[in-house]
Each structure stands twice: as structure tokens, then as C-alpha cells.
Structure 1
Amino acid sequence: MNEERYVRESRTFKASHVLPPDTNNHNTLFGGRLMAHIDDVAALSAMKHAREPVVTASTDSVDFLQPVKVDNEVSLEAFVTWTHNTSMEVFVKIVAEDLRTGERAVCATSFLTFVAIGPDGKPTQVPKVIPETEEEQFLHQGAPERAEARKARRFRNKQLADLLGTRRPWESPTQKPGPIVGPLS
């Protein structure tokens, strides 16, 4: 695939009003709620770039920089920063705005990786991405280093998963998990 797309073609925006059910006991937005918004807007951005369905391969980071309070608007901006064969790195910038004062602050940033899925259900090639602005070029230039760090982390995590296994804490190391018999109480 020799196709290319500009970063701007994948830009996706989402905004939400932070209400009391979205918050914790500090009256700030639940981190998990923000992470769901991040994954949603990033997936839309990746789909715009690939023009195929996508799956989340990793969330590299979510850095919470400032709290998001009740009655703030939280705005997310996502765009594809880099591609590699079937995968895309997506950057998400999250801005909180105090709706009474108009004060705005970057409250979080995030990097995620998505893989495009073709009609056969397997990963499929994605277009290369062309950065234009200073911000896009900055993020694009740092992407290969982040990709290498992801690859190393994934390798270590696979080793850890193999070491941990699926044994339940109460099973001895030599005991194999058996079938569940009867109703669970």
C-alpha cells in the first residue's frame, strides 16, 4: 500500500460535560471514565486514518496532569501521529475548561496504538501518515523511539504473563486447574 494521508485527516474531537455521577469523592472526574473517553476518541481517529475497523493494541500512557472538576467541560482531541504496516500510534490531548470562568488547562495526555483489521479479520496495512504542523512533526519524530519502548515492554509483559501463568493463588504449583463442578456459591 503506497497510500498516504495527512495527520489532519484523522483529527477527531469529543467534548463532555462533567456531572456528579462522573466523579469521585473529590468531585473530580473518575480516571477510568476519562480513559474510556480517550479510547473512544482515539479509536475514531484511527478508523478515519485506516478507513477500516480497528482494535486497541495498547494504551502506552495516560498522564493525568490536572484534575477535571464537576461542571467542567472536558475536550479531547485525537490524531494519528505515526504508522507502521498495520498499526497506528494515536495521540490524545485532553483539555478541561471551567465553564464559569473560561479558564482552560491541559489536564491529561495519552498515547495509544491501534491495529487495523481487514475484511478477513486479520491485521491489514494502513496508509503512511504525513505530519504538517510543528506539533505533528514533533510527535512524529519521537514515535519510533516510543514504538521501540512499546515493543520492549510488550516482550517483558509476555515473559511476566508466562511466569505468572493462570494458576489460582490457592492451587499448588503442580496442581492443574480442573473443571468447575456444581453450582458456585
Structure 2
Amino acid sequence: MAIRITTLPPRWAHWRCSLQRRPFVTAAALGACLGILSSCCALLLLGVSLQLLPPEQWGDSAASSLRNLGRGTIFVLAVIYAPLIESFVGQLIPMEILRRFRAHPAVCVLLGGVVFGAGHSLTSGLVHGIASFAAGCVFACAYVAMRWAGISASFLAVSSAHAMHKLMLLFVFAPLVPPAF
């Protein structure tokens, strides 16, 4: 007869308690991990979109306005300032409205991705909108995952995911792409 384990092992139970005691550290760590994941997903979708869509539907480069700025200015504007504003408008407000209507978390994630992708599509074109939809879904997952700890912790998770996403794209992946692209 097999022994069935119905409780969490003590090691995992301690881990869960420490996450609940420090929700802001948990939110920042979750956001950083999901930011790396979202940048990889966005790059994958970006590559697929560039292969499938004709060049006239690509739209402008989202980073074209940043070319004449220094690295410090880009860091402050794109990695610190923009994620706070975009996360507030594109994630927090829609997610809290959906939460008031008691929407299912999956609906919240999809609609959060749609709002985020649509906002980026309007300013930078269809390809950027598609990649931003995937990133927006990952950011919405961060929000839903941390909502148990309150609005502040969930906003921190989304903002840190968004900041890590932009940091990865602008300072890790962008230098790997040839300038003519």
C-alpha cells in the first residue's frame, strides 16, 4: 500500500510562509523572473511576425526615438519611468476594473495583454503590438499572481517585470542586433 502525502513538506511550507511575510520582495523577484521570460517570448513573436507579415505592416521601430539619447537617459526614461506609467495605465487600471466585475483570472490576463498590445500597436505598428501582447499577458500574470498581497505588491510585480523586460531588450538583446536592422 502506497503512502499518500497530503500536506506540504516542511521545507516547502517554510518557503510559502517566508513569501507571505515579505510580499514586496516576492513581488520584485517574481517580476524580475517574469520580465526575463516576457522579453524572450516577445523576441520569439517578433521574429515570427517579421517573417509572416509584409514589411509595409511592420510599423516604426519603438526604439527609433531613443537613438540620439545617451545610455543613462535611455535607462531612466525606458527602464524606470516608462514601465511605471505604462504598467499603471495598461495593467493596473484594466485589471482592477475587471476585478471589480469579478472576471476570471484568465480573462484578466488576456484582456490585460490586449490592452497592452493595442496601446503599443497604436504608437509603433502591428509587429510591436503583437510582441507587446505577449509581454502584456506575462505582465498580467504577474499582477494576478501577486494580487493576494494587495494592489501595491501586484503593481510592484508588474512594474519590475516591465522594467526587466525593457532592460533585457535595450541593454542585452539590442546590442546583439546589427545596426542596419
Task: Give the TM-score normalised by the residue count of structure 2.
Answer: 0.31
- Pick 1 or 2: higher relative contact order, CA cutoff 8 A, min separation 6: 2
More strand by share: 1
TM-score (norm 1): 0.30
**Pair member with larger Rg:** 1
